[in-house]
Amino acid sequence: MLEPQNPDAKPSIDHPRRSRGGILVGGTLVLMISAGIGMQVWRAQNSKAAEQKQEEQVGQARVDALSQAVGRVNGQAISYEDLARECVERHGRDVLDNLVNRMIIQQACAERGITVTEAEVNQEVVNLSKKFGLAVEQYYQLLEAERNLTPIQYRRDVVWPMLAMKKLAGRDVQITREMMREAYVDNFGPRVKARMIVFDNLRRAQEAWPKAQQNPDDFERMARELSVEPNSRALGGTVPPIRRNSGAHEAIRKAAYEMKEPGEISGIIQIDSQYVILKYEGRTEPVEHDPKDVEAQLHAELEEREVARLLAETFEKIQGAARVDNLLTGESKGPVKAVSATNADAAPLKAAVRSTAKQ
């Protein structure tokens, strides 16, 4: 299975797209350019009327596009507006989040004078495809098959933001000897084998804990019946062997490595709003390697992990500084900033969104 290069990476960049939106924008730009040329030759008293006419033409073009039929059933048309409304109702929240994140990155880059060129995106795609031993076209085909991403979507929503966020972060990651030592232990040292029950309620965890203590052999059945985590629940609470320094939450790692005897039950471990009980089942055998033989591999893995962490931290920082008003859901977050749209401007849009949702 294809592993994502940067799971924390956020959307993205605008590229020319052969879409209705692109056609509309292109048409608008053509009209604006035409108006600009006309202003040089028309007399001043005619300029206002010309601008109004251009605005009317643009508005009419938008109306025509919205009313255009995209399908027919027994002669009855399905309009572009019908299709758009259905798409918004089904996928609007996710798509809008994608656009918001993309704009946050674009604005941060613009404020700092940062650009990512097409050549840089092309080269990064080549570099990434080489990691899988594939030609670029084969890599694109794999992305589309595995992740349902077209080449345009991948370049715009994965590669561009990754490159942009690296520049926004403004520094390279540093891999220390201690990090290398921990990575070696994680990859080749013994790991804790365990089962886990996850609760979404402290009272339920407190009721289950003495039962697990009294009868550890019943832990598998309890996990299948009580755990709220679907993947481990289906396996009777079995989880992948727990690494010493990475992977699982730090509190889980700490509890796992404090237990010594098979069948031992941990205390109740709080992870945010969930509560975990572990059953210790021993340790895996270490895999003997000369650290020098795997040094390059471990360094590459650490660098990829640290880059992902750095990019996530950078995005959280610029996201926290951005004011986002989601008029589709009525949600707002971030500091209050002066924006071009006033409350009076936003009110009609909110009304239109509510009207569309009701239809």
Cβ–Cβ under 8 Å, residues 71 and 78: yes
Extents of the domains making up the chain? 20-169, 190-283
Beta bridge partners of 269: 276
Per-residue pLDDT of the chain (359 residues; tens, 9 = 90+): 444 444 344 443 334 333 333 323 333 333 333 333 333 333 334 444 555 555 555 555 555 555 688 889 998 989 888 888 898 889 888 888 888 988 999 999 999 999 999 999 999 999 999 988 999 999 999 999 998 999 999 999 999 999 999 999 987 788 899 999 999 999 899 999 999 999 999 999 999 999 999 999 999 999 999 999 999 999 999 999 999 998 899 999 999 999 999 999 999 999 999 999 999 999 999 988 888 888 998 998 888 888 888 888 988 999 888 998 888 888 888 887 554 444 444 444 344 334 333 43
Q: What is the pLDDT of residues 175-203, one digit of tens each?
A: 899 999 999 999 899 999 999 999 999 99
Contacts of residues 115-120 at CB distance under 8 Å and 24 or more positions apart, as own/partner, are: 116/13, 116/160, 116/163, 116/164, 116/167, 120/163
The Cα 306–Cα 312 span in angstroms is 10
User: Was domain 20-169 assigned CATH 2.60.40?
Assistant: no
pLDDT for residue 55: 56
What architecture is domain 190-283? Roll (3.10)
pLDDT for residue 138: 95
What is this structure's pTM? 0.55
